Structure 1
Amino acid sequence: MTQTDAASERPRPRLVVRTEPVDELAPLIPRADPRHPLLWMRRGEGIVGLGETLRIETSGADRVDDAAVIWTELAADADIDDRVGLPGTGLVAFGAFAFADESASTSVLVVPELVLGRRDGRAWVTRIALADAATDAPAGDDEHGRADAAAPDELAIPEPAPRRRIPRVSFTPGAVPPERYEEAVAEAVRRIDGGEFAKVVLARELVGELHEEDGLRATIGRLAEDYPDTWVFAVDGLIGASPETLVRVDHGTVSARVLAGTTARGAGEASDRERATALTESAKDRAEHALAVASAVKRLEPHTARLDTSPEPFTLQLPNLWHLATDLKGTLGDGSTSLDLVRAVHPTAAVAGTPRRVALSVLAELEGFDRGRYAGPVGWIDGDGDGEWAIALRCAQVEADGTVRAYAGCGIVHDSVPADELAETDMKFRPIVEAFGG
């Protein structure tokens, strides 16, 4: 069932949700659907969704607000029995939102039939069904309102699938070839020096073709193995491994991680340390980072009773890159849900620029393609409005016809060098290209 309009006059579906503990579900990724994976995890913990009970689709400038309204109403009406009580239990939906208001890509919240989860050494199974119109209970419930473990119309808990080879996708430049990207960077620098704006993020795309039907599970497994400290996600064909937390809400607390400023890892230990030190001392990178942090604080502060930031940027180590990072943590002051905060902070200066409105106009002009869900919010929300959302980075969108579009971008400031920014995009493409056998 699909709900597309927050003001729809159709009767709202009623969801019945049952979460129960189980002994063990490790590993999670081999249990995911290979063709339509739903997954959110980091360091081997998270949630996997199977099947689809309900889908919320929105678009346009109000896509997040509309989804939040529909979700709040669904959650208020739902019959939820959660016997575990951890983040990711009970009613959950996986979400991915388009970056731009004008994007042709649809934004989605997907409510699965079955959720498998692991966190803090505990495992659980959640079943989500539409209430039966006649009995007001899902088919298969016993007299106590609990779903049978293997009712005929329910999805069974899958066994881990055998490991398969990673599919090979050959990527080529998309709408903007490398030389045009460098020209766009040079034009952005010219406008920055002219005082039009302070920063803009310019992205590129690579395009390939996926032929193997069962390849996505292997690709996701590769991302999780190579980048365990990132948010590994798969939602409606969008897959990736993002290092950047857009916003996390958990029982009244809010946190986020801002990344801006990047350099490649060194060839050896001494070289690696030198590169990390140079990044922390780089005036260009620190200025770019400060703009991104200021933007995040400005957007989150009105919703918090208290908001603290790391006193100084720290270096975040990934297998192929160093990033400058700042963590934000606070206490909610207005009862906002995670989607409310997603709406408030997206798009951040780290993926758009500063000032935001001007930067969005410039990147739309200079990039030359629709970002789709790249750099948009991706994550999950629960029945209380809590959730975890990342920025969709180091990612690709796999379309129904097998087309794979990978994305990477860089923050452009006044002293950016076009050739260096192009090289940085190549570094940022590496996780997703290698995950597809490149």
Structure 2
Amino acid sequence: MLARVILDFGSARMRATTVAIDDPGPLEAFLPESGPCTAFIRRGEGFVGLGEAARFETDRLEAADVWWDEISNQIDHDSEMPGEFGTGPIAVGSFTFDPDRSEDRSVLVIPRIIIGRRGGVFWMTKLGAARGDMALPARRERVASPVNPTAVGGAMGEDIWTRIVGEVVDLIRNDEVHKVVLARDLIVRADEPLDLRYLLDRLIENYPMTWAYLVDGMIGATPELLLRRQGGLVTSRVLAGTVWREGDTVDPLQLAAELARSQKDISEHEFAVASVAEALAPYCQAMNVPEAPSVLKLPNVMHLATDITGSVGPDTGALALAAALHPSAAVCGTPTHLALDIISELESLDRGRYAGPVGWTDMYGDGEWAIALRGGQVRPETPQEIQLFAGAGIVADSDPSVELAETGAKLVPMLQALGLDS
């Protein structure tokens, strides 16, 4: 197991102070021009994190859970708003899709400053600060748009990818596996380093109903919440089954009706729901799984969606639940071990932290973990370049050309943010 810890505590214990603040305005406006920062925002609510008090690099969610438990027990928290969901010191993370087959590393960081908003409550938390040192950081003045962004291809061409989809369909029809989620990538390169704050602004503006995330070079706007744990309640939103608009003349109600009747999409969705329900069951005293999905409408696509809820005990935290749920059939396939083997053999792509858990947890085990979809990754060695990802669930009735078009639709949010949507 890879593990690297960077601490900036300065003593065996650390003080953290949380105070109520006036409405700070758009949270993303506090992200600095340089230095580490994080964000997790939906409909204007969530948080931004500035700086790092501690950092843990690993290849296992379980190891990160143990580390955070140890570290959080060293923090003395003085709060004006105890019990408010999401306030106080938090750990923010982004984890690899398949740690056994990736050269990337998972990361969990503790921001030094957190500015948040939720349900009409506004707060700031600072680590290493007392109440007399709680001034808000300065807001930024401007962010730079990408300079001459150009798509330069990915790990494989579209023709090769569709051929691989056909191979997987044959495996499924021969009963060797039930479902496999295949991804492809697209590299976009600019003339100057990309300002991820600009991309985040565009994602928040264009896709407010999604969870916009920024963690250690991973950025995107995902519609899929792996889980939220708040007190004894856990919620998981399962998305699988997709339709998209091609042109402004298409009636969205007609598209939604077609999606709700599509046996191919219903079958794909049922696999994903079953995998999440089975993974949650050992941790829940009671659980509710709706009999039929709803249709989630986003600006460019629609998904079949099911919200699963359950009650969990105090000893099962959000990170432990994320470890139990990942990877679900929505991003991997089923049976899981067979789908992972097929992805590794045929996809020709290191997904890194794409389709892995991304989110946060607090000192009490509450938190939110989404799936890192509709996004991309910028690496320190190539700051002018971003690797975008998109995937599609392959089942027996899949048409390779349709699945390719679906991945194209899922690339749209990031291409729009980069100015390449035309």
- Using structure 2 for the length normalisation, give the TM-score: 0.93
Is contact 2:146–2:194 with CA below 8 Å preserved after alignment? Answer: no
Report the CA distance shift for 1:242/1:212 in structure 2 as closer, same or farther (over 3 A): same
1:434, distance to aligned residue in structure 2 (A): 1.0
1:182, distance to aligned residue in structure 2 (A): 0.5
2:312 counterpart letter in structure 1: L
Equivalent runs, 1:3-42 vs 2, <5 Å: 4=4, 13-35=12-34, 36-42=36-42
1:12, distance to aligned residue in structure 2 (A): 8.9
Whether 2:147 is the aligned partner of 1:149: answer no
Q: Which residue in 1 is equivalent to 2:386?
A: 404
Equivalent runs, 1:271-310 vs 2, <5 Å: 271-310=251-290
1:76, distance to aligned residue in structure 2 (A): 1.6
Residues 14-34 of structure 1 show CA distances to partners (whole Å, capped at 9, x for unaligned) of 332110011121111121124
Q: Distance in 1 between matches of 2:192 and 2:39?
A: 20
Q: Which residue in 2 is equivalent to 1:132?
A: none
Report the CA distance shift for 1:13/1:125 in structure 2 as closer, same or farther (over 3 A): same
Whether 2:413 is the aligned partner of 1:431: answer yes
1:23 counterpart letter in structure 2: D
1:128, distance to aligned residue in structure 2 (A): 1.2
Whether 2:318 is the aligned partner of 1:317: answer no
1:119, distance to aligned residue in structure 2 (A): 1.1
Q: Secondary structure at the match of 2:99?
A: coil
Q: Which residue in 2 is equivalent to 1:92?
A: 90
1:162, distance to aligned residue in structure 2 (A): 3.3
Is contact 1:220–1:240 with CA below 8 Å preserved after alignment? Answer: yes
Q: Distance in 2 between matches of 1:286 and 1:218?
A: 37
Equivalent runs, 1:27-426 vs 2, <5 Å: 27-35=26-34, 36-59=36-59, 63-85=60-82, 86-102=84-100, 103-129=102-128, 141=130, 146-149=131-134, 157-162=137-142, 164-165=144-145, 167-213=147-193, 215-265=195-245, 267-268=247-248, 271-333=251-313, 335-400=315-380, 401-402=382-383, 403-426=385-408
Is contact 2:37–2:111 with CA below 8 Å preserved after alignment? Answer: no
Q: Distance in 2 between matches of 1:266 and 1:369?
A: 28
Q: Which residue in 2 is equivalent to 1:135?
A: none
1:359 counterpart letter in structure 2: A
Q: Secondary structure at the match of 1:4?
A: strand
Q: Secondary structure at the match of 2:139?
A: coil
Is contact 2:50–2:113 with CA below 8 Å preserved after alignment? Answer: yes
1:123, distance to aligned residue in structure 2 (A): 1.2
Q: Secondary structure at the match of 1:369?
A: coil
1:113, distance to aligned residue in structure 2 (A): 1.2
Identity of aligned residues (%): 42
Residues 346-388 of structure 1 show CA distances to partners (whole Å, capped at 9, x for unaligned) of 0000000000010000011111010000000000111111100
Q: Distance in 1 between matches of 2:14 and 2:63?
A: 19
Q: Distance in 1 between matches of 2:72 and 2:190?
A: 37
1:116 counterpart letter in structure 2: I
Report the CA distance shift for 1:174/1:16 in structure 2 as closer, same or farther (over 3 A): same
Residues 395-415 of structure 1 show CA distances to partners (whole Å, capped at 9, x for unaligned) of 100111222110000000011
Q: Secondary structure at the match of 1:374?
A: coil
Report the CA distance shift for 1:331/1:112 in structure 2 as closer, same or farther (over 3 A): same
1:94, distance to aligned residue in structure 2 (A): 1.1
1:213, distance to aligned residue in structure 2 (A): 4.5
- Using structure 1 for the length normalisation, give the TM-score: 0.90
Unaligned runs of 5+ in 1: 130-137, 151-155
Residues 65-94 of structure 1 show CA distances to partners (whole Å, capped at 9, x for unaligned) of 110001001112210112224222111111
Report the CA distance shift for 1:15/1:213 in structure 2 as closer, same or farther (over 3 A): farther
Q: Distance in 1 between matches of 2:336 and 2:71?
A: 33
1:149, distance to aligned residue in structure 2 (A): 2.8
Aligned length: 412
Q: Distance in 2 between matches of 1:119 and 1:213?
A: 33
Is contact 1:280–1:315 with CA below 8 Å preserved after alignment? Answer: yes
Is contact 2:182–2:394 with CA below 8 Å preserved after alignment? Answer: yes
1:265, distance to aligned residue in structure 2 (A): 2.6
Q: Distance in 2 between matches of 1:357 and 1:13?
A: 42
Report the CA distance shift for 1:108/1:363 in structure 2 as closer, same or farther (over 3 A): same
Q: CA RMSD in A?
A: 2.1
Q: Secondary structure at the match of 1:371?
A: coil
1:229 counterpart letter in structure 2: M
Q: Secondary structure at the match of 2:133?
A: coil
1:292, distance to aligned residue in structure 2 (A): 0.3
Deviation larger for 164-173 or 355-364: 164-173
Q: Distance in 1 between matches of 2:365 and 2:13?
A: 17
Is contact 1:39–1:235 with CA below 8 Å preserved after alignment? Answer: yes
1:22 counterpart letter in structure 2: I
Q: Secondary structure at the match of 1:25?
A: coil
1:112, distance to aligned residue in structure 2 (A): 1.2
2:105 counterpart letter in structure 1: T
